[in-house]
Structure formats: structure tokens, C-alpha cells
Structure 1
């Protein structure tokens, strides 16, 4: 949730949401362990929590310049480095030996924010090794360069209760984003694999149709296509913005006339997507805010030649 505030430029020192951001970062400070990890490691999925928490604290540090957050941020980044599989990416746990594109994407996002904030780590080596996983995960499937989730060319993960939701190019969008953010000169916006994957995302635009609802995909594809720019972003931007703005509670046609005083859910999004049963309304609202902030969070690292 903190990322929704930092993505709009708010921090714990100035602006209208200082108290909200302050309480958030104080909580994260309390749950950061000596090894730098945020929260316990009881659940294998703690790596997601850590990457997202790292990104939030690092962005607060970058926005505010609060020196008290520098050590907290650096320790969090150091834990990400410790968790990386040697010569590859990340998955559940510390050097688990297995990799997946989803966790790897979140880790690269956190490191991108860390680099922007001036934190130190061996970016070239870390990115080179992460790219080796993407090299393995991306294979030709029926003539299309498909990036797999945890195996070469594999489908996306789905909750048992969400098997009826359609597959989409989530992992392809993560491949685009990570390749561009890792700034390897061989992988630019005109790379044929990235252009093919961007075009596939542009053919699968957001729509408020039950089996197509996947806020996670919308977020990563928005990040990726904004970075790509050009025709793919132009095809994506309108449907994404319209779909999210027209489905926000309090602003839907059926909610007209309601206020935050008469509608508890006012301003939120219903958790009805493929991951809503796990993340709930807070997840749905936070990640959709992040999607609507893609213009603000990261400048384009390159400009398309088309």
C-alpha cells in the first residue's frame, strides 16, 4: 500500500499523507530482521513481501532523503542479493536452486528503485545473472518467444480457485520490463523478441470481463509497454485507463451519487481478479493504483525508434 503513495510522490516528511507514510515505514522498521529481511520466513512466499517492502522503503528514502532510512534500505537490498541463485534469478527462499520469472521481476523492480536512490550493489553482475534465467525461460512456442513462469515456456501460475481465469502474457511483460531495466545494450526497445512480446500484450488489453481480470498482468504489462512506447503502448494505454477508472468503486455507473461516507468501498477496487481471493481489497486497490502510476514511477530508459 505504501507504494501507492510513493508512486504519486508522497513521503513521510512532506505532503498531505505524512502520517500515513510514517506509520507504514515505522511498521516496516519493526518487522525488519537483522539479516535485512522484512517479516518472517515462515511462508515460502515471503520473498514477494520482501521485494515489495524493499521497493517501498527505498522509494521513501529517495523521495525524502531521510538518512535514517538509508541503512534500512541498504540492508534490504543486501538481502535480495543474498537470496539470488548463483548465476540465475530468484524464487521462494534464499538461494533455493529453483527460479521463477515472477519473483525475479519483483526483485529487479526493487533493485531498479534502489539504483535510482543511489544505493550500492554489483548491478552489472546481479543483472547479468538474472538475465541468464530469462534466457532459459524464454523459448519459441509455435513461432512465438514465450517467457515461462518457472520452466522454459511454461504457463502462468494460477490459484486452485482461479483455474478458470484466462492465461495471458504476464511473464512476457516481465521479460520486457526486466530486460529494459537491466540496461543491457543488446536488449533495447527494438529487440525483435521484445517487440513480438509487446505486440502480444497489446493484443490482450484490459477489459472488465470476469475470466480476463488479472490486475497483476495489467500492472506488469503497463510497466513494460510504457517503457516500450510506440504503437504497443498506444494500443494499451486507453483500454487500461478506461477499464480501471470506470471500475473504481464510487465511480462506477451503479455507484453514482455515493461518497466515502455512504460507501465503505469508495475509492477501492473489488478483489474479483485472478489473485483477489489471496490479496483482497487492499491488494486490488494498491496494485491498480500502481498501474495508474506507471507514468510517474520510472522514466523511460530508452525511446523507441518507431
Structure 2
């Protein structure tokens, strides 16, 4: 998963129906948690996200960045966009303008986003996330210069696809894994939403690759059939965003995800934020019982664990420590914000 400021990653939001969503209890949820009305849920989530954005804004560097790795920079931009903020207007107009300017200037002539500090064994993790942020920025403010950079970034992703349909750490086609691939799939979905065309052949090959990683009993593996927590969440979201909501592996995997504990510990989940970022999106896309059973537990846990300054830490024992994802709680806070922003729906990439 992204080894920098993201083991990776975007989000969407209009208010989803959360009535009757409090029908399950969990040891991870504070015992004082009471049933909430939809309006009260949104009020609490909004207040939490607003505090997190204040924290993130306070950590921006003079050059407009938050981290030497673009994963953290793109993630923070997405968190602000996911709350409905846009460059040039509102409370964070200058923060977003500076952040956008920094991100876009890191793109090379060949279209690849390049970081001072690289995520993983190659640049495709942060390139996918940077492309996603660029697509969402362009969708909210269709600037011709941003469009050109987005087209070039999408071309890099298209050209980096392996013959088997997946992606790997480097932009040269060859090997592949599901963790890198899902980030490219999300970026392509966002680009397509922004009316940047993606060849049908690329989509079909991606679908074929994700299906190749599916376990017959539900779940997805890193480079083949398996049932890992993180890759299972990423795999089911990939198929959903590729339009394969009715694929037989989807309900099986949603049932598998429901077996993983929602608690503030590693508990078999090596990359906590990565897992919950994709898991809540998968359950949101599915709706119904899966969504109603899942989201209140994750929501209450995150609301309970937010620090007084608006940031989040990480559960002990996970692989998403500061040495891996970067300093200043940027990754953890950005990811937690995006998870909670599933209640708001401003970013198109994950909309149903």
C-alpha cells in the first residue's frame, strides 16, 4: 500500500440515508453512543471534519505542500474538496490555491507526477492519487491548464497498464498488483467523470485483472486470488467503480469484509486507514444492509478517537506508522476525513 503519506486512497458525498443505521452494537463504539437522527449524525460528522481541515490547513508549508511525497499533498487537497471547499473561494481559498499550484508544478513533461520523496518502489502510487486530485480539481474549476495536465497524467496511467490489465510501481508496463491498480482505477474513474476519455480497452483489461485476483469464496489478493483485508476492500471497490456491481464476487466480498472487526487495533488489518477507506466506500456503493451495518460503527470509532487539535493518530501495531506514511499526522487525518466525508458527497469519483 502507499508507503509515503498514503498506503493509499477520494471520496464523494450527498447525505445518504442513515435512518435505522444504528442497529448494531460493537465493543469498539463508546457505550454512551445513543441512536442519532440523520440531521444529528451529519452535524457531528461535519464538525469533526471541519476541525480536521483546520488542523491540515495549519500544517501547510510556505511552498504549498504538506509533505515531500505527493501522496500526502493530494490526499489533503481531496479532503478539503470532499468538504465542498474549492480553490479561490471560501475559507480555504488560499490554502487550496497554494496546494494546487504546488501539486501541478511537480508534473514532469512526460505527464508523470514526481515527488521529492517517493511512495513505495516506484512513483505510480502517488501518480494515481495526484491524478485523482487533479481530476477533482478540474471538475470543480475547469481551467484549461489543469485540463492539459490531467490529460497528460491520464495518458501515463493508460500507457503504464500491463498486458494483463493491472498496474505496478513504475510507469513501464510489466508486473502488476491490486494495491497499485486500484489507485489507477479510481483516477481513471474521476477523469472519465471530468469528461477526459478513457479507452474502453483499458477498462475491460482492468476488469479482467481485478477478476483474476478474486477468491472463489469472496475477497481479493495482492497479485492473485486471496482474502486479505486491504486488498479485498480495494478489489470490490474497483469492480464497483468499473461498473460491475452485479459481479458474483461483490456480495461474497462484502460478506467477508463484515467479518473484520471495527476496532482501534491492528486485529489482522495491517493498514488500518487504507482498509477502512475502501471498506466504507464498498459498503456505501452496495447500500442496504451492508451499508447500514457497517458505517455507524466506523463513524463512531473515528469520532471518538479524534484528537483535541482535530488530527487523528493510528492504532498501535499497524504498518501505517509515521516512518512509513510521513510526518505531522497528515496521512492519518486526511484519510479519516475522507472516510467521514462519505456522508457529504462533493467528490464525484465514488458516487453511486
With the shorter chain as reference, the TM-score category is: 0.7 to 0.9
1:37 equivalent among 109, 112, 124: 112
Partner of 2:313: 270
Structure 2 residue runs of 5 or longer lacking an equivalent are 1-75
The C-alpha deviation readout for 1:62-108, integer Å capped at 9, x for no partner, is 11222221111111111111111124110111234211111111111
Contact 1:89 1:100 in 2 (8 A): yes
Structure 1 residue runs of 5 or longer lacking an equivalent are 157-167, 251-265
Correspondences of 1:1-306 after superposition (within 5 Å): 1-39=76-114, 44-122=121-199, 124-140=200-216, 144-153=217-226, 156=228, 168=229, 170-183=230-243, 187-188=244-245, 190-211=246-267, 214-250=272-308, 266-272=309-315, 273-277=318-322, 278-280=324-326, 281-295=329-343, 296=345, 297-298=347-348
Q: 1:81 & 1:9 partners in 2: Cα distance?
A: 29
Q: By how many angstroms is 1:300 displaced?
A: 7.1
Q: 2:99 & 2:250 partners in 1: Cα distance?
A: 36
Q: CA RMSD in A?
A: 2.1
The C-alpha deviation readout for 1:149-205, integer Å capped at 9, x for no partner, is 12332x65xxxxxxxxxxx2x21222221112112xxx32x4432111111212224
Q: By how many angstroms is 1:299 displaced?
A: 7.8
Q: Secondary structure at the match of 1:200?
A: helix
Contact 1:276 1:284 in 2 (8 A): no
Q: By how many angstroms is 1:212 displaced?
A: 5.5
Q: 2:218 & 2:198 partners in 1: Cα distance?
A: 31
Q: Secondary structure at the match of 2:337?
A: helix
Cα distance 1:106–1:300, how it changes in 2: closer, same or farther (>3 A)?
Answer: closer
Q: By how many angstroms is 1:274 displaced?
A: 2.9
Q: By how many angstroms is 1:294 displaced?
A: 2.2
Q: Secondary structure at the match of 2:88?
A: coil
Partner of 1:163: none
Partner of 1:260: none
Q: 2:334 & 2:100 partners in 1: Cα distance?
A: 16
Q: 2:261 & 2:299 partners in 1: Cα distance?
A: 11
- The structure showing larger relative contact order (alpha-carbon pairs under 8 Å, at least 6 residues apart) is 2
- For these two proteins, the number of residue pairs brought into alignment is 266
- TM-score relative to the length of structure 2: 0.71
- TM-score relative to the length of structure 1: 0.81
Q: By how many angstroms is 1:210 displaced?
A: 4.5
Contact 2:261 2:267 in 1 (8 A): no
